[in-house]
Amino acid sequence: MLDNLTLADLQIIWFILVGVLFSGYAVLDGFDLGTGTLQFFIKGDENRRLMLNAVGPVWDGNEVWLITGGGALFAAFPYVYASVFSGFYLAFMLLLLTLIFRAVSIEFRSKQPMPWWRKGWDITFSVSSLLAALLIGVAMGNVTRGIPLDDQGNFTGTFLSLLNPYAILLGLTTVALFAMHGGIFLMMK
């Protein structure tokens, strides 16, 4: 059976695999991004700690889906990977920064007992979660809308051209969807 696979068949298989990996990331990391976004509206240190404890055992494992999806995209479609990562470079660096600050805020929140310390890390966690969800949605909005490429497949737009109304609307929708996902997760916990 493997002898009969054509290049087009392999591309379809890899396309589905990359789609499953990025969709898995959105579904599995969406609830903790949503939980972080909802933390803006939660009163009391104990309630915010309970929210963090709910996502604590699984939040870092969810990023594995994102890393694996990026690796699969690089392995299967190197030209697409090069175009996307060169075009969305600033947006991806911002996303990486938000994911780093989320991780740091979860780890550092309980290191000191002072209320201002915890509140500062809670704000960092919430802002990072909201921005990460927004950036993921804006990136998906640009991918579905289409990005300007030249004949060699190089990105010809600017960072500001990525902030078009459709992409921003999809980014806000992603924030709302992840917040709903996080709320459902918290209700189940």
DSSP assignment, residue 154?
Answer: -
pLDDT attached to residue 1: 55
Residues (pLDDT < 70) of the chain are 1-3
Q: Give the pTM.
A: 0.88
pLDDT attached to residue 2: 60
pLDDT digits (tens, 9 = 90+) for 39-63: 988 888 888 888 888 887 777 778 8
Q: What is the DSSP string of 107-149?
A: HHGGG---HHHHHHHHHHHHHHHHHHHHHHHHHHHHHHH---B
Integer angstrom CA distances of residue 14 from 67, 69, 142, 150:
16, 11, 21, 25
State percent of the chain over pLDDT 70.
98
Strand, coil or helix: what is 44?
A: coil
What is the C-alpha to C-alpha distance for residues 109 and 124, in angstroms, rounded to an integer? 10
Burial label for 35, CB within 10 Å (0-12, 13-18, 19+), is buried
Domain-wise residue ranges, the chain: 2-188
